[in-house]
């Protein structure tokens, strides 16, 4: 890789890192491109060279946060309840990360700004649920696998929603496992697989 490409990647990563820090500290609306440029140690023109808008930069922050979690859950050849338990554990642990909670708080308070909700949906929920929808389509006789996947994820993410509305900042691992098992058991009964 040439030095020019390395420098460009470093600048781009620095801009995304600066944006992540400021978005999580101040929120989306209160963060300006000028502030991001200053935090990243570049000019505002450099920021716009890499990102056409603040919304595009927010999408890059979301991708960065998603990629920080080593790998997405890959469905295999285990039993359906084992696969659903594995996916649910992955989903819950991902959503309980501090950065993910911060991005979700931004969505709850600022979603109407600059099509932020569309960016969030395209980078977040739709992207994450796609493998689950495909798995349910292949492994079950559900008439509406997309709806079922959405309901399963909603039940799994109840603790995240509670954390967003309370002062509780964490959830013990054994409590996460108990929740995942309860929800998966209930879901299996509902879909009668």
Contact 149, 136 (CB under 8 A): yes
Query: Could you tell me the two tokens for 76?
Result: 């295999």
Domain range summary for the chain, segments of one domain joined by +: 3-66, 70-191
CATH class of 70-191: mainly alpha
Contact 59, 122 (CB under 8 A): yes
Any idea how long the chain is?
193
Q: Please give the torsion angle defined by the CA atoms of residues 179, 154, 19 and 21, in that order, rounded to the nearest 10 degrees.
A: -30
Fold of 3-66: Arc Repressor Mutant, subunit A (1.10.10)
pLDDT given at position 138: 94
pLDDT given at position 168: 66
| Domain 3-66 and domain 70-191 have a common topology | no
Block means of pLDDT (10 residues each) for the chain, 193 residues, are 76 93 93 95 94 92 80 87 95 88 85 73 74 93 93 94 77 92 95 75
Query: Could you tell me the two tokens for 185?
Result: 């058991």
Distance set, CA 17 to CA 63, 88, 120, 133, 193 (Å): 11, 28, 18, 32, 44
pLDDT given at position 112: 73
Distance separating alpha carbons of residues 41 and 106, to the nearest angstrom: 24
Please tell me whether the overall predicted TM-score, pTM, comes out greater than 0.85 for this model.
no
How many other CB atoms sit within 10 Å of the CB of residue 75? 17
């Amino acid at each position: 890789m040439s030095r020019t490409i390395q420098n460009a990647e470093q600048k781009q990563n620095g801009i995304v890192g600066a944006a992540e820090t400021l978005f999580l500290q101040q929120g989306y609306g209160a963060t300006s491109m000028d502030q991001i440029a200053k935090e990243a140690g570049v000019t505002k023109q450099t920021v716009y060279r890499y990102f056409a808008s603040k919304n595009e930069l927010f999408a890059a922050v979301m991708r960065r946060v998603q990629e920080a979690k080593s790998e997405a859950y890959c469905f295999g050849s285990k039993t359906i309840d084992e696969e659903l338990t594995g996916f649910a554990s992955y989903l819950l642990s991902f959503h309980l990360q501090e950065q993910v909670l911060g991005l979700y708080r931004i969505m709850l308070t600022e979603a109407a700004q600059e099509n932020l909700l569309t960016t969030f949906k395209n980078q977040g929920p739709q992207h994450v649920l796609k493998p689950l929808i495909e798995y349910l389509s292949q492994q079950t006789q559900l008439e509406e696998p997309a709806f079922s996947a959405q309901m399963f994820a909603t039940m799994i993410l109840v603790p995240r929603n509670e954390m967003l509305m309370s002062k509780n900042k964490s959830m013990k691992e054994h409590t996460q496992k108990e929740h995942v098992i309860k929800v998966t058991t209930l879901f299996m009964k509902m879909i009668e697989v």
